[in-house]
C-alpha cells in the first residue's frame, strides 16, 4: 500500500454566476520544503517528479473528490492549441490508447458527469469553462503560445459543438503569472502583434529595464470576448503563481524542473 497523504488543500474557483453541480479548483502547495521544487501536491507525471509521489497525489485527490483514479483526466501538454473531447468513446479505450489521444493536447471538453478534467500549469493561465444548462464543461492551458494561438477560442467552439451556447458559458481563470512578473523578450510581443492582438492593451514596459511585460490574463479575456463570451461571465483569479510560489508552482521562480498546479473542473 502507498502511504496516503493528508487531504489536499484546494483553492475553489468561483464563476461570476454560480453553475449548479459544478466543482472547480486549483491544487495548492502547503508546508513547502524550499529545497525541493516538487514539494507540495504535483499530479503531473512528465516534469521529472517521482512517479510514486505523483500517483500518491492522484489517489489522494480522487478519494477526496469521491471519484475513481481513472476519472482524473489530464492531457500531456505541449503548448499546442489542440482540444480533445472526453466522451464515452474515449472512456471505452484502453489506457495506452487514451494516453495516445491525450498526447500533445492542451485543452479538454466533456459533457460527461463524474469525470475530472484538468490541466497542469506553473505560471501559464489555466482556464475553466462551463455551460450548466447544456451540461458541457472544459479546461484549457494557455501559456503565451497557446494564447497567441487562441486556444480559448478553440475550446469555446468545441463546447458549442457539444451543445453549449456562448452567451451561457461561464469562465474562470486560475492562479497564473501576473503582468509585473511576466517579463518577455520582444519576439513574444511581436508574436502577439502578428496574431493581431491589441498589443497596447496587453503589454507594458518596465521603466527601469525597458523590458516588455505581457498581461496573459487580459489577452485571454480578449480572446474569449472575441469568441462571443460576455465579459461579465469571465472571472479572473488575482493569485500570482510567481509572487506566491510557496502556494502555487512557478516555473519562472522554481525552474522548469518543478511541480505543477492542477486546475480542474467536474460536474456531478
Ligand atoms: Zn507576480
C-alpha cell at 136: 458541457
CA 160 to chain centre: 20
pLDDT at 5 (0 to 100) = 56
Predicted TM-score (pTM) of the model is 0.96
Other beta carbons within 10 Å of 23? 16
Residue 194 lies in a domain: yes
Rounded to the nearest angstrom, the distance between the alpha carbon of 26 and the centre of ligand 1 is 17
**What pLDDT tens digit does each residue of the chain (268 aa) get?**
444 557 899 999 999 999 999 999 999 998 899 999 999 999 999 999 999 999 999 999 999 999 999 999 999 999 999 999 999 999 999 999 999 999 999 999 999 999 999 999 999 999 999 999 999 999 999 999 999 999 999 999 999 999 999 999 999 999 999 999 999 999 999 999 999 999 999 999 999 999 999 999 999 999 999 999 999 999 999 999 999 999 999 999 999 999 999 999 999 9
Whether residue 29 contacts residue 39, with contact meaning beta carbons closer than 8 Å, is answered with yes
pLDDT at 1 (0 to 100) = 42
Residue 51 lies in a domain: yes
CATH number for the domain spanning 181: value is 3.60.140.10
Other beta carbons within 10 Å of 252? 16
Domain that holds residue 223: 10-267
Residue 147 lies in a domain: yes
Residue 31 lies in a domain: yes
pLDDT at 260 (0 to 100) = 98
Rounded to the nearest angstrom, the distance between the alpha carbon of 123 and the centre of ligand 1 is 9
pLDDT at 4 (0 to 100) = 52
Contacts of 184 (CB under 8 A, 6+ apart): 144, 211, 212, 213, 214
Alpha helices in the chain (DSSP H): 51-65, 88-91, 95-101, 144-148, 151-161, 186-194, 199-202, 216-226, 251-254
Residue 48 lies in a domain: yes
* CA-derived radius of gyration, the chain: 18
C-alpha cell at 135: 451540461
Residue 2 lies in a domain: no
Rounded to the nearest angstrom, the distance between the alpha carbon of 90 and the centre of ligand 1 is 38
Whether residue 201 contacts residue 266, with contact meaning beta carbons closer than 8 Å, is answered with no
**How far apart are alpha carbons 73 and 59 in whole angstroms?**
13
Residue 4 lies in a domain: no
Rounded to the nearest angstrom, the distance between the alpha carbon of 253 and the centre of ligand 1 is 10
Number of domains in the chain: 1
CA 31 to chain centre: 23
**How far apart are alpha carbons 55 and 240 in whole angstroms?**
27
CA 212 to chain centre: 24
- For residues 176-203, one letter each, b for 16 or more C-beta atoms within 10 angstroms of the residue's C-beta and e for the rest, the string is bbbbebbebeeebbebbeeeebebeebb
Closest CA to 76 of 100, 58, 110, 49: 100
Burial of 104 (0-12, 13-18, 19+ CB in 10 A): middle
Residue 170 lies in a domain: yes
Rounded to the nearest angstrom, the distance between the alpha carbon of 203 and the centre of ligand 1 is 15
**How far apart are alpha carbons 205 and 259 in whole angstroms?**
30
Rounded to the nearest angstrom, the distance between the alpha carbon of 244 and the centre of ligand 1 is 7
Rounded to the nearest angstrom, the distance between the alpha carbon of 209 and the centre of ligand 1 is 17
Amino acid at each position: 500500500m502507498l502511504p496516503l497523504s493528508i487531504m489536499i488543500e484546494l483553492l475553489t474557483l468561483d464563476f461570476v454566476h454560480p453553475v449548479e453541480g459544478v466543482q472547480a479548483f486549483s491544487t495548492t502547495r502547503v508546508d513547502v520544503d524550499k529545497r525541493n521544487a516538487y514539494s507540495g501536491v504535483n499530479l503531473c507525471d512528465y516534469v521529472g517528479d517521482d512517479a510514486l509521489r505523483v500517483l500518491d497525489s492522484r489517489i489522494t485527490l480522487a478519494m477526496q473528490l469521491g471519484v475513481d483514479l481513472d476519472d482524473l483526466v489530464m492531457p500531456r501538454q505541449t503548448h499546442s492549441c489542440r482540444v480533445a473531447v472526453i466522451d464515452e468513446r474515449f472512456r471505452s479505450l484502453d489506457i495506452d490508447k487514451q494516453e495516445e489521444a491525450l498526447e500533445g493536447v492542451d485543452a479538454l471538453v466533456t459533457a460527461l458527469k463524474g469525470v475530472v478534467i484538468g490541466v497542469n500549469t506553473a505560471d501559464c493561465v489555466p482556464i475553466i469553462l462551463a455551460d450548466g444548462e447544456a451540461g458541457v464543461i472544459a479546461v484549457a492551458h494557455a501559456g503565451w503560445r497557446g494564447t497567441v494561438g487562441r486556444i480559448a477560442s478553440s475550446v469555446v467552439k468545441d463546447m458549442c459543438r457539444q451543445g453549449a451556447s456562448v452567451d451561457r458559458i461561464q469562465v474562470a481563470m486560475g492562479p497564473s503569472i501576473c503582468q509585473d512578473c511576466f517579463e518577455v523578450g520582444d519576439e513574444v510581443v511581436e508574436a502577439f502583434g502578428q496574431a493581431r492582438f491589441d498589443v497596447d492593451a496587453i503589454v507594458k514596459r518596465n521603466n527601469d529595464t525597458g523590458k516588455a511585460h505581457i498581461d496573459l490574463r487580459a489577452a485571454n479575456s480578449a480572446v474569449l470576448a472575441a469568441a462571443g463570451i460576455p465579459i461579465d461571465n469571465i472571472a479572473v483569479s488575482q493569485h500570482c503563481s510567481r509572487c506566491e510560489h510557496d502556494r502555487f508552482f512557478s516555473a519562472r521562480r522554481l525552474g522548469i524542473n518543478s511541480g505543477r498546479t492542477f486546475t480542474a473542473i467536474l460536474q456531478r
